[in-house]
Chain A
Amino acid sequence: MIRPHRTHPLWYAYMAHRLSGLALVLFLPAHFYVLGLALTDMAAFDGFMTFASHPLVKLAEFGLVFLLAIHIFGGLRLLALEFLPWSAPQKTLAAATVAVAFLLSGTFFLQAV
């Protein structure tokens, strides 16, 4: 249960950052291990790639990328909060700019693939 004094966006952002960080710590060793297989044991690596093309695994991969995105943006948020003493309107503008840039580059990216 989330205690009442924690029910606000900044606390949720903190918790999302923490949990995504923890999940990445668990995932990254496995990730590097599999990449390492490509160098040392090609057959095992290919075996894993067949397994990885399973839709469920694909879905899990999406989750991992999502975690990474949460963690990166959480970190950028903290850096901005602590190192850029901006006024509230400046922050709104910056957030809007990032959102628009993201939308545009996302559209181009989707067209490329």
Chain B
Amino acid sequence: MEAAENTLEVSVWRGGEDGEYQTFQVPAQENQTILDVVSWIQQYADPTLTYRFACRVGMCGSCAMMVNGKPRWTCRTHVKKATEGADKIEIAPLRNLPVIKDLAADMDPFFDKWVKAGAVHHPTRTRDDAIETITPDEPGRVEAAKAIECINCSVCYAGCDTVANNPDYLGPAALQRAWTLYNDAKDADRQAILDNVSGVGGCHNCHTQGSCTMYCPNELDPLSAIAGLKRVTAQNFFKRKG
């Protein structure tokens, strides 16, 4: 019954940094995500296959992988979308991160850079004060709202060539987070944020290649967020000089 056309040829990365691709034949379904394919291999072909997922609905950001050379959230990526007409699927761990094993990349450098970008809240009030009212249509709030749906999946980080070429570069996600906080009227120390993102590895490293915005599965726009940081750091520079 299993005709060749009902089978997908899937190459999956096995091992660590110096591993290699292993090919599996996976039954094709009409409706099938890349994560379904990976799960099928783990359940029916090789239980030692290592990969990550949790929510399966695009909320948790743990399932991102390179699929046919592009970073994708695999739980929400249909096989037909990922193959783009090709008859083979190649699945690898996320780019720009160390490989732990098989499809599991080490996310530590990615999260360390969130901390490095210094995107921690600097409060304006204490717990004894009333909560500050922010209306949804305030310009700062509108700008901040554009990025709060980030799920930390690291797809933008994996797609970015600047990250690949400069190990110090904070990357799109962390910088976008800093931009969100900069636009938060409740943040008391915006200068600290600007200082953090304009040093070595900061927003000025960005070459505006736009892969972050291109591949963000939640359709966020880190490219514009980084442009925003460049703009305010430049204004800030001239203000301080004058």
Do A3 and B69 touch (CB < 8 A)?
yes
Say what secondary structure dominates the interface of chain B: helix
Q: How far is the CA of A78 from the CA of B230 in the complex (A)?
A: 11
Q: Is A82 an interface residue (CB 8 A)?
A: yes
Q: Is A29 an interface residue (CB 8 A)?
A: no
Point out the residues of chain A lying under 8 angstroms from B66, CB to CB. Answer: 5
Point out the residues of chain A lying under 8 angstroms from B68, CB to CB. Answer: 4
Q: Name B's A-contacting residues (CB within 8 A).
A: 66, 68-71, 95, 158-159, 161, 207-211, 213-215, 223-224, 227-228, 230-231, 234
Point out the residues of chain A lying under 8 angstroms from B95, CB to CB. Answer: 5
Q: How far is the CA of A20 from the CA of B212 in the complex (A)?
A: 24
Q: A4-B70, A78-B208, A85-B231 are in contact. List 19 more A-B contacts (CB 8 A).
A: A3-B69, A4-B68, A5-B69, A5-B95, A5-B158, A5-B211, A5-B215, A10-B208, A10-B209, A10-B211, A10-B213, A10-B214, A11-B161, A11-B210, A14-B208, A14-B209, A81-B208, A82-B208, A82-B227
- Max chain B C-beta neighbours (<10 A), residue from A4, A5, A81, A83: A5
Point out the residues of chain A lying under 8 angstroms from B230, CB to CB. Answer: 82
Q: Is A6 an interface residue (CB 8 A)?
A: yes
Do B231 and A14 touch (CB < 8 A)?
no
Do B231 and A11 touch (CB < 8 A)?
no
Task: Give chain A interface residues in 78-95, CB to chain B under 8 Å.
Answer: 78, 81-83, 85
- Max chain A C-beta neighbours (<10 A), residue from B159, B208, B211, B230: B208
The residue of chain B having its C-beta at the shortest distance from the C-beta of A81 within the complex is B227
Task: Give chain A interface residues in 1-34, CB to chain B under 8 Å.
Answer: 3-6, 8, 10-11, 14
Do A4 and B228 touch (CB < 8 A)?
no
Do A6 and B161 touch (CB < 8 A)?
yes
Q: How far is the CA of A81 from the CA of B66 in the complex (A)?
A: 28
Known contacts being A4-B70, A5-B71, A6-B161, is A85 close to B224, with CB within 8 Å? yes
